[in-house]
Every structure is written in C-alpha cells, then in structure tokens.
C-alpha cells in the first residue's frame, strides 16, 4: 500500500492511499480519516460510498466529516467508485463505465474483466483496512450518496450481520425501476432482470432482507428526485417489511455536496450511537 498524502485535521490524520487491487486488476485509490485516539486503541469504521462521476476525493474535500469523526471517535473510509486506467473499459456517458461502477461485480463483457466493485468494497478493501489501520472490524457501518446510497443500502441489507448502521443521502433506492439503474444493471449484469434484484434495495427488502433501521435524507429540490431516486418506493417497502425508516425530506436542498455536508454530522452521530 502506497501513501499518497497525509494531513493533520482535528487532531487526527487524513490520508490518501493507493494499492494494486486483486479484485479489479487495477490500481485503486481510497481515503481514510483516523481520529485522535490512545495508543493501541481500536475504533469503529464508517464506510462512505460516493455517487456517479465521483472519486474518493469528492467527499474527502467537500464532505465536512472530520470534526464529527474526531469528536465521535470514528474512522471514515472513502473508496473510489470504479476501476480506472488504461485498458479499463469505459463509456462516453457519465452514468456508465469509469466513475459509475454501481457497486456490482459485472458479469458481461467487457466490464467483467475489471468492474468488480462489490468484491472490492465488501472483501478486499476491508481486509486492507483491518491490516493497516486501528480499526475495530466488529463495529462497522455504511453510508453513501446517490449511486453510493444505492451501494450502501444493498450492501447493508445483504451483509446486515456486519453493519450496525446503514444510512444514505439521496439514494437510488430501486435501480431496477429507474433509467440510471436499468442502464447500469443491464450493462453490467445482462438482460435477466432477476439477476438485478440482489442489487436493488427495494427488491432486497421485498425478498426478505432486513435491518433494524435506516436513515435517509433527501433534498426536495433535487433535480433527480422524481425520475431517478423515488424514495417513496423505499418508504413503501420498509413499511410493508416493518423496517424503521427515518426519511427526512429537506426543503430547498439539491443533490450536491452542500446538501451532504449540511447533514453529514447528523448521520455520523446516528451511526456512532449504534456502533457503541
């Protein structure tokens, strides 16, 4: 693992790191904030998954999470959204290919060669974090934004025994039913829509996946709300399944990091309360 950069922040260390990934077959870059802590102490880990077009840098530069993480004693990990580089398949559109991995393991050519973000985020990177940082891997939680909100919900629902808390900002809750998701899941996983269900939060809940509670913030002025995000579908699924969903519709807020930064501390406090 290569250290790209480190900086002191709120008594802790913000780092950016790079390593050669077996899962994707490419170099992968990620950021980690480690708050101040006593020697030998291990700390709970919050995973943050970013949205379309983003890298680790978007939340690292604009997410405003470090003060809250320092106060609450949380390690904050932000991976990239896809493999990148020469020889990695891409698409000219912003919502597919590099920058748009959708947190799945692709099965279709040419994507299957490198686009294995599910394995990267759930298996390879956690092992790296456990080996190199003061992480208590028995206390993990996950959150994300937009496409990353989709990833956080699907991973959190699938691996409910691992993640003590799951939350999202403006997530794609039912990708099988919206243009972004239909394009991505069809392209990466093929035409069989039954194979998409394990990467659709609403479908997972309909099929029996359960978590105790979810927290979702959604801006009412979000330009993608009606066509791509459709949080009411998640509300209906949670209501039918008996999952406690806190869905906060925020007047005047859009899809940007101004929105995320405004409510980031709320989410981290919600996670900390469940991480112990």
- 146 has catalytic annotation: yes
Band (253; pLDDT cuts 50, 70, 90): very high
- How far is 267 from 271, CA to CA, in rounded Å? 6
Whether 32 and 229 have beta carbons less than 8 Å apart is answered as no
pLDDT tens profile 112-123: 999 999 999 999
DSSP classification of residue 225: I
What range does the domain containing 266 cover?
Answer: 2-275
Note the pLDDT of residue 18. 98
Please list, in sequence order, all residues whose beta carbon lies within 8 angstroms of the beta carbon of residue 196, skipping any fewer than 6 positions away.
175, 176, 181, 185, 186, 189, 203
How high is the mean pLDDT of the chain?
Answer: 98
Of residues 145, 150, 255, 271, which has the active-site annotation?
A: 255
- The edge-to-edge listing of strands for the beta sheet with 213-219 is 2-9, 12-20, 27-34, 75-79, 43-49, 135-145, 163-169, 213-219, 244-250
Peptide bond into 197 cis (omega under 30): no
- Of 141, 222, 267, 271, the catalytic one is 222
What CATH number does residue 204 fall under?
A: 3.40.50.1820
Pick the catalytic residue: 21, 50, 141, 146?
A: 146
37 is catalytic: no
Do the Cβ atoms of 234 and 272 come closer than 8 Å? no
Give, in order, the Cα–Cα distances in Å from 262 to each of 131, 265, 266: 33, 8, 8
pLDDT at 230: 98
Instruction: Respond yes or no: is residue 61 known to be catalytic.
Output: no
Token pair belonging to 197:
């269900």
Q: Where are the alpha helices (DSSP H) in 100-245?
A: 117-119, 125-132, 147-158, 179-189, 201-206, 231-241
Predicted confidence band at 110 (pLDDT cuts at 50, 70, 90)? very high
Percent of the chain with pLDDT over 70: 100
pLDDT at 115 (0 to 100): 98
To the question of pTM greater than 0.85 for the whole model, the response is yes
pLDDT of residue 269: 98
The residue with tokens 């997410």 is 63
Confidence of residue 252 (pLDDT cuts 50, 70, 90): very high
Q: Distances in Å between the alpha carbon of 178 and those of 75, 181, 226? A: 33, 6, 10
pLDDT number for residue 73: 98
Q: In Å, what is the CA distance from 54 to each residue of 47, 97, 99, 206?
A: 15, 12, 6, 30
Domain count, the chain: 1
């Amino acid at each position: 693992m290569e250290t790209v950069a480190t900086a002191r922040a709120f008594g802790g260390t913000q780092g950016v790191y790079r390593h050669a990934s077996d899962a994707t077959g490419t170099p992968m870059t990620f950021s980690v904030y480690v708050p101040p802590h006593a020697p030998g102490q291990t700390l709970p880990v919050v995973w943050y998954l970013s949205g379309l077009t983003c890298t680790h840098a978007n939340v690292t530069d604009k997410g405003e999470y470090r003060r809250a993480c320092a106060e609450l004693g949380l390690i904050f990990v932000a991976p990239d959204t896809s493999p990148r580089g020469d020889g990695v398949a891409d698409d000219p559109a912003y919502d597919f290919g590099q920058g748009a991995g959708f947190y799945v393991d692709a099965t279709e050519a040419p994507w299957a060669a490198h686009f294995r973000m599910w394995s990267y985020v759930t298996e390879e990177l956690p092992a790296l974090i456990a080996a190199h940082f003061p992480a208590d891997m028995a206390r993990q939680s996950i959150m994300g934004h937009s496409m990353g909100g989709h990833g956080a919900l699907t991973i959190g629902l699938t691996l409910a025994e691992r993640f003590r808390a799951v939350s999202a900002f403006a997530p794609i809750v039912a990708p099988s039913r919206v243009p972004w998701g239909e394009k991505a899941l069809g392209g990466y996983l093929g035409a069989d829509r039954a194979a998409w269900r394990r990467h659709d939060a609403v479908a997972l809940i309909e099929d029996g996946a359960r978590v105790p509670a979810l927290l979702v913030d959604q801006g009412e002025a979000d330009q993608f709300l009606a066509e791509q995000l459709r949080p009411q579908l998640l509300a209906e699924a949670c209501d039918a399944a008996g999952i406690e969903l806190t869905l906060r519709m925020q007047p005047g807020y859009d899809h940007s990091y101004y929105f995320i930064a405004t409510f980031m501390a709320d989410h981290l406090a919600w996670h900390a309360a469940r991480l112990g």
